[in-house]
Amino acid sequence: MNQQTDDLSDILKIRNEKYEKIIQMGINPYSYKYDRTHTTREIIDRYDTLEGSRVAISGRLMAIREHGKACFGDIVDAEDRIQIYVRKNDIGDEKFELFQLLDIGDFIGISGEVLKTRTGEITIKVDDFELLAKSLRPIPIVKEKIEDGQRVVYDQFADKELRYRQRYLDLLLNREVREIFKQRSQIIRLMRNFLDSKGFMEVETPTLQPIYGGASARPFTTHHNALDMTLYLRIADELYLKRLIVGGFEGVYEICKDFRNEGIDRFHNPEFTMMELYVAFKDYYYMMTLFEEMVSTIAQELLGTQKIRMGEHEIDLTPPWQRLDLFEAIEKYSGHNLSDKSLEEIRAIAKALHVEIDASMGRGKLIDEIFSEVVEPHLIQPVHIMDHPIELSPLAKKHRSKPGQVERFESMIGGREMCNAFSELNDPFDQKQRFENQMKLRDAGDDEAQMMDEDYVRAMEYGMPPTAGIGVGVDRLVMLLTNQPSIRDVLLFPHMRPIE
């Protein structure tokens, strides 16, 4: 057992002994409620009107400074931090004895007079307090100071992996992290407001699906005991939403969790949030304009600007954005025109470009891998990459003027794919053939190729109007607008490898 472990054991023992003493005093260390009159931020902002008034606040005790028969401390709630002043003469012997059993991290409720100390710090002079919840484990203490009017944090709770695994401590100790997740909530609310203002209806579709589809990915599999059937966590909600277009709705969207049994990196988590939207009588040109408007509107309302920082780059989200054919983009950054190349020629080009490939990859998958490795890192400013190979897009409509391509675009910002959108395929004969081609790819070893969905084809046979659809990676949009480098920084509880 090392010194650090020994020290922790000693602290835990001392805190448990304090807990026992509090019990012996006849006090419940875990209260039921506390009626506060103000938050810390309200007292700070309204000091001029609250000076001399009696207030009640509650929060976590995050500092204790003892001075004989008096103590100073700091209480932190969800909004801010405020100093408290506790004197034995003001609260009595028994309460002062209880206060001396408190530790940093305990939740307390206090009441008292609002005043300023001789140094000008807003303080509450305590006349009564209650223990609301005893903290049995020590909280890592973040030290900070003010330099040239700026808050400087040192000895920070900064271990990335530990912060992800113990997000509750990360949120508690790093207020900047709390702000990121407040902004995430705002972004989703602004997205809903924007879509609702356009007259689209929010709906809910199944998370458990008998046939997974709507994307190229491997699913998580489960079993329903009562029905004795295999079910899959959805990899997308596309096929259900388009059934609703067949059913007569003309604009539907869903913000939901999708699940893909794939690798984890700074852009991918097996559980992630998507917004999918489908609009009748529109095409992918309409959807490009709508997406530009949505992202720029959210940025303006969230940040007050459409020019944002992402790492070392300034990105201008002001519409209209550049539009670029996928094959033109590959030729621009690789020097190779792949549009008329055979499978073997593209495979040879991929090897020459040092793109990692395998024997199961068809022509479309090879083109996609080349694009991802060679082109994506250059696409910093917003651009719509248009007109993808038909082999890659089994749910998109054939291009009206480019044979072998479909009316599909991916919007790239900061070298990241932000959305995927189509003029949706609504020809049932073509759709069935595309599904059959996907099944051939599965037989050849591509376990991410899409499944045959006979019911979806049947729905289309009843007639599906021209439709535009889009899937937006909400987590990636949050990364962009909060300037975060990893998806784990915008997920409250990202998936982590088990500790050995």
1-51: pLDDT as tens digits: 466 677 788 999 999 999 999 999 999 999 999 999 999 999 999 999 999
Q: Are residues 123 and 188 in the same domain?
A: no
Q: Are residues 133 and 61 in the same domain?
A: yes
Single residue among 88, 122, 139 that ends a domain in this structure = 139
Helix (H, G, I), strand (E, B) or coil at 248: coil
Please indicate, yes or no, if residue 341 is contained in any of the structural domains.
no
Q: Residues 438, 443, 448, CA angle at the centre, nearest 5°?
A: 55
C-alpha pair distances (Å), 302 with each of 15, 111, 186, 250? 43, 36, 7, 29
Bridge partners, residue 85, by sequence: 72, 125
Q: Which range marks the domain in which residue 189 is found?
A: 177-321+381-490
Under the banding of pLDDT at 50, 70 and 90, the label for residue 106 is very high
pLDDT at 263 over 90: no
Which tens digit of pLDDT belongs to each residue from 471-497?
Answer: 999 999 999 999 999 999 999 999 998
Cα–Cα nearest to 308, from 480, 82, 64? 480
Q: What is the pTM of this model?
A: 0.90
Under the banding of pLDDT at 50, 70 and 90, the label for residue 144 is low
Q: CATH code at 289? A: 3.30.930.10
Q: Are residues 193 and 292 in the same domain?
A: yes
Give the DSSP H/E element, type plus range, for residue 328: helix 326-334
Single residue among 122, 139, 156 that ends a domain in this structure = 139
Please indicate, yes or no, if residue 486 is contained in any of the structural domains.
yes
Single residue among 120, 139, 158 that ends a domain in this structure = 139
Starting from the edge strand earliest in sequence, which strands make up the sheet with 408-413, in order?
Answer: 201-202, 251-259, 271-280, 467-473, 416-423, 408-413, 383-386, 322-325
What is residue 160's predicted lDDT score, i.e. its pLDDT?
85
